[in-house]
Chain A
Amino acid sequence: MIPMDTFLQQIVNGLVLGSIYALVALGYTMVYGIMGLINFAHGEVVMIGALTAVSVLQLLAGSALPAPLQALMACGVAALVCMAVGFLVERVAYRPLRHAPRLAPLITAIGVSIVLQHLAMLIWGRNYHTFPTLMSSTPHAIGGAGITDLQILIVVLAALVMGGLMLLVNRTRLGRAMRATSENTAIAGLMGVDINRIIALTFVIGSALGALAGIMVGANYGIAHYGMGSLLGLKAFTAAVLGGIGNLPGAMLGGVLLGVIESLGAGYIGDATGGFFGSNYQDVFAFFVLILVLVFRPSGLMGEKVAERA
């Protein structure tokens, strides 16, 4: 029999991990939705966010500022740096290739990812950086499962930010311009939408979300490292595909689902198969679900407009 508290704990684990995946996945899905480009450099932007925050926090460590204010400043600086990086990447690497064959920007994206990673290695070094502890890590017991203040904050903050993004896209003038650009770039341009500005803004917003996600990863796991972005980016990209790439609620759903599937997979696959598969199949399990979803719903769980995209 499965003990209830362990099950609950696994759901909590999955939700925390999933919230982070979802925030990163939004960056992939926004860019894809508008340009049809998979921005593989997004994982590196997340990493730069985390490392910038570490540097800011180390600078502030001696100061008398209260911890929440320090955290806020770290978030602010990291977001600004990432927004600048996102803007520059778009301007330098992607804009000149906007009318090139689709493979060209994809390869450029991989190149940008490698360049950013190694730049970060030169700036922050090869060592792991300890993310300063700003909140207590004593768990609260809720129905037998433990959850820390930080984890609660991560889930709530991620939900708030995602809600805000939905409002921005669906209720504002800027959001309407983004949706129009997504639907048809050329026509939107003819209708008076400043395409360059919208695409740049998309990168900037996605990068800010990425910075926040990076700080969450750093704070939750206590570490930041120049290589942390690639695996995280890959998982978040998977989450975006799972939910339906190009679709905002899809990315959120995909992220949370992937987190929960991974947790439950790692937690129960061994017992469920009588020890035949172990937790080393954790990732296989997550990707198996992805394959199943893609076989039956090629556009992802919430993906639409397959005919248009094809």
Chain B
Amino acid sequence: MTQVRPDNHSLLFTPLAHMNLPIRSLTLAVAAALALSACGKKEDAQTGSAGAVVKIGQASPLTGPQAHLGKDNENGVRLALEEANAKGVEVGGAKVKFELVSEDDQADPKQGTLVAQKLVDGKVAGVLGHLNSGTTIPASRIYSEAGLPQVSPSATNPKYTQQGFKTAFRVMANDVQQGKVLGSYAVNKLNAKAIAIIDDRSAYGQGLADEFQKAVEAAGGRIVAREFTNDKATDFTAILTKVKSKSPDLVFYGGMDSQAGPMARQIKALGVKAPMLFGDGGCTTEFSKLAGDAAEGNYCSLPGVPLEKMSGGTEFKARFKARFNVDIQLYAPYAYDAANVMIDAMKRANSTDPKRYLPLLGKTDFPGVTGRIVFDDKGDLMNGAITLYQSRGGQWQPLETVGGGDISPAAVAASLDKAADGGAKPVGAQGIAMENVKAVEQGTKGPGY
């Protein structure tokens, strides 16, 4: 857990405001205790009768600045579980009913571990989450110790799968892959030589910005400013004024849409002509809404291929809208896939027992709405595609997709093979991940580019 930076907001408490800390944590503790005791009663009744109700955990920020994204993930998981229930899934000879247990981690690492423990104690069969890297990484230790499979739809910090946990998986390309694509795209395609970088100091934003910086420097670009904000801020004029004084060709922001939107507005109001570039966190319709006119011409990247190009992607979009009467914000398709990957592993193992289906989760080869999902030996997505978008007419228009071609049959065979020894993952092994990155790099130079 030491690798995760503490949340910035603790720095903001004033000498007097510290009074609300013990009170808040006390109420939380009481609430958690009540909730736990309530859970305890329910699950006792269920564990006895095999194949009755299977609880699936979901954790994301349901309150706070990223609540819109957190709810989006929850909806994605909910849709997958409801569809599975409607279709009817038989495991171990009996029909099972999936039940969603959704927890609010407030995008806060401390809260993330708290709800992780709550899910473990609530005897869920698996966890889909968390949304943020900052919450996913500390929570993954708790799931690993409990032997509980975890598939994160959207945590992209490479550390998540580098800890050697057998239980950690993700269905999205990580930030090493995304940072590389973004960095080489900025320098080689957008011809940006002087680049300013801003990040929100979260595990995600900082991680992506660091990888982006490495890639820019490797491609021969120059970093003229490196500035910071936090994931609750709305005023960026001070750092943007400093950025302006360095006259960059491009401004990169590692963080979420709730900051990216106002930032694009403010940078325009300050008269900076350089376009902005974001990772997946800024690649949302919410960004286009928040930035207004200032959205035009900016760039972003999103792991996976555009939903419209996926088989069943448009149809998924319509189903989602019909069920929840809201549009997809960002990660719902990934959350949907994550849930289906987990259900698929349970079907193949013919068991909802984490011990039984975890080895088969590693041997996944699943056609999801975001792409074909095959895990490497660390639980990372194999050969994840990354698509670049530009904002035109108030919408993100796909420019091109990098990587994500067919996975070589040998690699798939190796992946499906590997768990035969019990799914042991070598700690800190770089092999497959680097190959993956190379594949992406080759993608950028390939003829189809």
- Looking at the assembled complex, report how far the CB atom of B278 sits from the nearest CB atom of chain A, in whole angstroms: 16
- Interchain nearest-CB distance for B412 vs A (Å): 39
A175 contacts B by Cβ under 8 Å: no
Q: Which of A110-162 contact B (CB under 8 A)?
A: 110, 118, 121, 126-128, 130, 133, 137, 139, 146, 148
Name the interface size band of chain A: 35 or more
Are A3 and B16 in touch, CB under 8 angstroms?
A: no
**B202 CB to nearest A CB, Å:** 11
Contacts of B271 in A (CB 8 A): 139, 146
Cross-chain contact B68 with A279 (CB below 8 angstroms) = no
Chain A residue at minimal CB-CB distance from B13: A234
Give the complex CA separation of A146 and B270 in angstroms.
Answer: 6
Closest CB in chain B relative to A242 CB, distance in Å: 10
Whether B239 lies near A241 (C-beta < 8 A) is no
Kindly identify, within residues 230 to 266 of chain A, every residue whose CB is under 8 Å from any CB belonging to chain B. 231, 234-235, 237-238, 241, 262-266
B40 contacts the other chain (Cβ, under 8 Å)? no
A130: contacting residue among B62, B233, B290, CB under 8 A? B290
- Which residues of chain A come closer than 8 Å to B19, judged between CB atoms? 106
Chain B's interface size range is 35 or more
Q: Mark A9-49, 1 if CB is under 8 A from B, else 0.
A: 11001101100000000000000000000101000000000
CB of B269 within 8 A of CB of A139, answer: yes
Structural contact, A282 and B234, CB atoms closer than 8 A? no
Residues of B within 8 A of A223 (CB): 234, 258, 261-262, 290
Q: Is A296 an interface residue (CB 8 A)?
A: no
Nearest chain A CB to B401 CB, angstrom units = 28
Interface residue A51 (Cβ < 8 Å from any Cβ of B):
no
Q: Does B118 contact A (CB under 8 A)?
A: no
The reply to whether B67 and A126 form a contact with Cβ atoms under 8 Å apart is yes
Provided the pairs A146-B271, A148-B269, A222-B262 are in contact, do residues A241 and B238 lie with their beta carbons within 8 angstroms? no
Judge whether B235 and A146 touch: CB under 8 Å. Answer: no
The 7 closest A-B CB pairs, nearest first, are A280-B228, A126-B67, A266-B238, A13-B237, A263-B238, A6-B245, A127-B68
- In the bound assembly, the distance between CA atoms of A128 and B257 in angstroms comes to 10
The contact sample of 17 A-B pairs, CB cut-off 8 A, is A6-B241, A6-B245, A10-B238, A133-B292, A133-B293, A139-B269, A221-B262, A221-B265, A238-B14, A263-B238, A263-B241, A267-B239, A278-B226, A282-B239, A283-B8, A283-B230, A290-B14
Proximity bits, B175-202, A CB within 8 Å = 1, else 0? 0000000000000000000000000010
| Complex contact B68–A287 (CB within 8 A) | no
Is B24 on the interface with A (CB-CB < 8 A)?
A: yes
Q: Does A227 sit within 8 A of B, measured CB to CB? A: yes
Q: Are A17 and B258 in contact (CB under 8 A)?
A: no
Q: In the complex, which residue of chain A has the Cβ closest to the Cβ of B227?
A: A279
A138 to B289, CA, bound (A): 19
Q: How far is the CB of B22 from chain A (nearest CB, A)?
A: 11
Determine the residue in chain A with the shortest Cβ distance to B11.
Answer: A283
Distance of A15 Cα from B67 Cα, bound (Å)? 31
With a cutoff of 8 Å between Cβ atoms, the chain B residues found around residue A238 in the complex are 14
Question: Which of chain A's residues has its CB closest to B326's CB?
Answer: A127
Which residues of B4-44 have CB atoms within 8 Å of chain A's CB atoms? Answer: 8-9, 11-17, 19-20, 23-24
Dominant secondary structure of chain B at its interface with chain A: helix
A139 touches B11 (CB 8 A): no
Complex contacts, A268 vs chain B, CB 8 Å:
242
- Asked if A279 meets B262 with Cβ closer than 8 Å, knowing A3-B245, A139-B270, A294-B15, the reply is no
Nearest CB on A from B439, distance (A): 34
Determine the chain B residues whose CB is within 8 A of the CB of A17 once the complex forms: 235, 237
B12 CB contacts on chain A under 8 angstroms? 231, 234-235, 283, 287
A130 close to B238 (CB less than 8 A) = no
Contact yes or no, B234 A228, CB < 8 A? yes
Is B312 on the interface with A (CB-CB < 8 A)? Answer: no
On whether the beta carbons of A279 and B239 are closer than 8 Å, the reply is yes
For B201, list chain A residues within 8 Å (CB).
280
A128 with B269, Cβ < 8 A, contacts A17-B235, A223-B234, A280-B228 known: no
Instruction: Output the nearest chain A residue to B199 by Cβ-Cβ distance.
Output: A280
Least distance between B378 CB and chain A CB atoms (Å): 30
